Amino acid sequence: MRLGPIYLFFALLLALSVWFLLDQESPETLILGDWEEIAWKYEKLDHGDVMDFDIDRLQKQEIIKNIIIHEAETWRFNPDGTLSFLEENEIKENLKWNIKGRGHILELHHKNNIVEDYQVVQVTKDELVVQFNSDLQVRGIVKMTFKRIPKKQYAQKI
């Protein structure tokens, strides 16, 4: 059996992976900046008869009561590892954030030592989608979608 082509294939694959790691932006850098909450939806539900996957304002408030995050318009991820929740341009809370796993877990450390984990479904230059489990009313996975606020626009807003 000729082993040369096999070794070459795997060496190339490894080199390609290393190149991707060096060339592509990691989720940790992509997430930096200001993000505006645009939608809350149920991703999955274990209630077959529930037709609507959209989460209305009342449901949202009910869910928020049972998790630590505050209802905020804007999430600001700072490079120093702090996350600020802003509402009407005022900081409501500051906490620590970090990304774990292969870049798929967003961990938020609150000041009272409580840690919350969100699954990062997607993080691109324009969009951030995170999920968390909710056990309220109906058990399901809640999907939060954010849109990036361009730096200029945010400065103008302030």
Partner 1 sequence: MLRKYSNYRSFSDNLKLGTLTAFSAGMVNVISVIVFFAFTSNVTGHYAILAQEIAKGNWYQGAVVLVWIFLFFAGNFTSNCLIIHNNTPTGRYIAHAIPVFLEMACLMFVGIYLQYFYTESLKETEFLVAAMLFAMGLQNGLTASISNSKVKTTHLTGLTTDLGVVFSMFTKKEFRNDKKLIQKAQLLLGIMFSYMAGGIISGLLYYKIENATFIVIGMVLGAVLLYDYSKLQVTRFVQRRRSSFQRRYSLYDKKA
The Cα 122–Cα 108 span in angstroms is 17
List beta partners, residue 84. 76, 94
Position 9, amino acid? F
101 interacts with partner 1 by CB under 8 A: yes
33 interacts with partner 1 by CB under 8 A: no
List C-alpha distances in Å: 30 to 17, 74, 92.
Answer: 19, 16, 23
Contacts with partner 1, 50-89, as mask; x by CB under 8 A: -------------------------------x--------
3 interacts with partner 1 by CB under 8 A: no
Q: For residues 144 and 37, is the Cβ–Cβ distance under 8 A?
A: yes
Neighbours of 67 (CB within 10 A): 16
102 interacts with partner 1 by CB under 8 A: yes
94 interacts with partner 1 by CB under 8 A: no
Residues in the site for partner 1, rule: CB under 8 A?
13-14, 16-18, 20-21, 24-28, 81, 98-105, 107, 117, 122
